[in-house]
Structure 1
Amino acid sequence: MAKRFDTGGGPSQRQLRVGELLRRTLSEVLARGEVHDPELNAMSITVGEVTVSPDLKVATAWVMPLGGGKRDEAIAALARNRGELRRAVGREMTTKYTPDLRFRIDETFDRMDDARRLFASEEVARDTAEPEE
């Protein structure tokens, strides 16, 4: 009998577990300043989420520098130290392989601000108001 794979929407439980383990470990490594790059250690970077490919070989870390400024500098510093970060994360993880790390800006907070702004607009407030009897 052929094995059927779920090609549905979201990530598997294994991808989610490995992603969360990577997120916590990467956050700790960055917080402790284990990387030998003074520019990266001077930044405070939040790791919002880590998504992992189905084969667990590639991990994308969605990051945001504190305050939201210097985004390009943060991504450049993380990319420049990708190998050292991967080794530091690999030492602390219990998985067989350490995924290749990629870094992207987490735009979740920007989208939340846009949604708040939209709901605060006069047109939306008028449409969502209780009808007067």
Structure 2
Amino acid sequence: MRKKHDLAGKPPSQRQLRVGEEIRHALAELFRRGDFHDPELAELNVTVTEVRISPDLRNATAFVTPLGGGPMDETLSALRRAAPFLRGQIARAINLRHAPTLSFEADTSFDYAGRIDAILHSPAVARDVGYRSLADRVNGDDDHDDEDDGWDEEEDENETDDLDDDDLDGDDLDDEDDDEDEDEDEGNGGEGEGRRGS
């Protein structure tokens, strides 16, 4: 959940964040069930992205966005008409001394993120900041040409085919180990053989 500062400049308390999240879950469950008397409200497909609550827990602002890009104005007007009913449902769902007064606002964070993404993908900005697309980074295209700079599985297989059978022969390794053991035994005056036998 995003932490936004209230008008006084103080960040929300842990209690505000917890109660806001409980209200968001309760609203989401109400919209999921969809058992409303208002047919316009029953047909709404809404996502509640965040709920901010005042420090005294008396007022809550729910930020919503219609699923599927539906009309925001109609969605907000239906939610504002149903706010007293939704407040009563919230009071039953969560344990608070006073149910907060609900207000609904459009969540514009997705639009804002889309605008920032479009700006970053514009050719002028991409050139200035050296921005590379995600596809280029994943595919390993480091120099922005049409040639793939990533790992090539065929090259790796060809390298193992180039090895001689003699390079992979384990007998040579065993012989070297035996030679080292004999050198150690000679340096100990034959004591090494006595230890091996016991």
Is the TM value for this pair above 0.5?
A: yes
- Give the Cα–Cα distance (whole angstroms) in 2 for the partners of residues 70 and 8 of structure 1: 33
Query: 2:70 maps to what in 1?
Result: 69
- Give the Cα–Cα distance (whole angstroms) in 2 for the partners of residues 9 and 95 of structure 1: 23
Query: 2:116 maps to what in 1?
Result: 115
Task: Within 5 Å, give how 1:32-111 maps onto structure 2.
Answer: 32-111=33-112
- Give the Cα–Cα distance (whole angstroms) in 2 for the partners of residues 88 and 35 of structure 1: 11
Q: Which ranges of structure 1 fall in alignment gaps of 5 or more residues?
A: 1-6
Query: 2:17 maps to what in 1?
Result: 16
- Give the Cα–Cα distance (whole angstroms) in 1 for the partners of residues 23 and 90 of structure 2: 7
Q: Which has the larger radius of gyration?
A: 2
Larger strand share, 1 or 2: 1
Q: Once the 2 structures are TM-superposed, how far is the Cα of residue 98 of structure 1 from its aligned partner?
A: 0.9
Query: 1:3 maps to what in 2?
Result: none
Q: Deviations over 1:62-82 (max 9, x none)?
A: 001112221010000001111
Bigger relative contact order (CA 8 A; separation at least 6): 1
Aligned length, in residue pairs? 125
Larger helix share, 1 or 2: 2
Aligned residues with identical type, % of pairs = 46
Look up the SS of the partner of 1:94 in the other structure.
Answer: coil
Look up the SS of the partner of 1:48 in the other structure.
Answer: strand
Aligned residue type for 1:87: G
Aligned residue type for 1:10: P
Q: Once the 2 structures are TM-superposed, how far is the Cα of residue 45 of structure 1 from its aligned partner?
A: 0.4
Q: Once the 2 structures are TM-superposed, how far is the Cα of residue 35 of structure 1 from its aligned partner?
A: 2.2
Q: RMSD across aligned C-alpha pairs, in angstroms? A: 1.5
Aligned residue type for 2:11: G
Q: Once the 2 structures are TM-superposed, how far is the Cα of residue 10 of structure 1 from its aligned partner?
A: 1.2
Query: 1:128 maps to what in 2?
Result: 129
Query: 2:30 maps to what in 1?
Result: 29
Q: Once the 2 structures are TM-superposed, how far is the Cα of residue 29 of structure 1 from its aligned partner?
A: 0.8
Q: Deviations over 1:11-66 (max 9, x none)?
A: 11111000000000011011111321111111100000000011110000000111
Look up the SS of the partner of 1:35 in the other structure.
Answer: coil
Look up the SS of the partner of 1:110 in the other structure.
Answer: helix
Look up the SS of the partner of 1:59 in the other structure.
Answer: strand
Aligned residue type for 2:22: L
What TM-score do the two structures reach when normalised by structure 1?
A: 0.89
